[in-house]
């Protein structure tokens, strides 16, 4: 384990409250995986069982709409993460994730996470508190996005009525 790995984890919202010792325990539970550009990391609709942190490179999160068109939802780089919900639920993945550039990811499986928190209740408490804050922020952003889209839809309806 290197200092840069500890810095990367400590910079994530999900691990900000963890002590250095707790971060080292998390690092011992994760493995590193390499992907080349264009490789799929996560496939929408498949069973989620892992959480990922981008160590190096870049990934793209994409989702198909009702017409079968795939849209980019986000581009994630070093220090950003995806798939954290898979550590808690057994629902299918909600989007595809592709390696945009060559990348190295940390992967924490649900089983390894469950083992880690079963032996370290303080890590569990801190993680679940952090995930609640992350999800609250995402909900806030989603509400803003939804409100914006509703307003645009109303404006378009008004314009169409005038034509």
What are the residue boundaries of the structural domains of the chain, listed by start?
A: 3-162
- Is the pLDDT score of 62 beyond 70? yes
What pLDDT does residue 8 have?
87
What pLDDT does residue 109 have?
93
Report percent pLDDT > 70 for the chain.
99
Q: How far apart are the first and last CA of the chain?
A: 65
Instruction: Report which of residues 146 and 43 the model is more confident about.
Output: 43
Tokens of 112: 């390894």
Confidence of residue 19 (pLDDT cuts 50, 70, 90): very high
* C-alpha dihedral (143, 148, 154, 156), degrees to nearest 10: -140
What pLDDT does residue 1 have?
54
pTM of the model: 0.81
Q: What is the pLDDT of residues 73-130, one digit of tens each?
A: 999 999 888 998 888 888 899 999 999 999 999 999 999 999 999 999 999 999 889 8
Mean pLDDT of 137-141: 87
Instruction: Report which of residues 135 and 121 the model is more confident about.
Output: 121
- Displacement of CA 34 from its chain's centroid (Å): 17
**Strands (DSSP E) found in 2-90:** 31-35, 40-42, 50-56, 59-64, 70-76, 81-82
DSSP 3-state of 86: helix
Instruction: Report which of residues 1 and 99 the model is more confident about.
Output: 99
Superfamily of domain 3-162: Jelly Rolls (2.60.120.10)
Instruction: Report which of residues 162 and 47 the model is more confident about.
Output: 47
Report percent pLDDT > 90 for the chain.
61
State how far the alpha carbon of 81 is from the alpha carbons of 67, 99, 107, 144, in Å: 28, 13, 10, 22
Decide: 28 and 41 in contact? Cβ < 8 Å. Answer: no
């Amino acid at each position: 384990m290197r200092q840069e790995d500890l810095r990367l984890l400590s910079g994530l919202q999900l691990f900000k409250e963890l002590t250095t010792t707790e971060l080292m325990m998390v690092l011992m539970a994760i493995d590193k995986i390499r992907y080349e550009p264009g490789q799929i990391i996560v496939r929408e609709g498949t069973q989620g069982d892992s959480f990922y942190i981008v160590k190096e490179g870049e990934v793209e999160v994409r989702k198909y709409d009702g017409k079968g068109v795939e849209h980019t939802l986000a581009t994630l780089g070093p220090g950003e993460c995806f798939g954290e919900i898979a550590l808690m639920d057994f629902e299918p993945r909600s989007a595809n994730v592709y390696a945009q550039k060559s990348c190295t990811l940390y992967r924490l499986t649900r089983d390894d996470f469950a083992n880690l928190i079963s032996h370290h209740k303080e890590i569990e408490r801190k993680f679940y508190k952090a995930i609640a804050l992350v999800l609250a922020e995402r909900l806030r952003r989603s509400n803003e996005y939804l409100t914006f889209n509703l307003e645009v839809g109303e404006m378009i309806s008004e314009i169409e009525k005038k034509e």
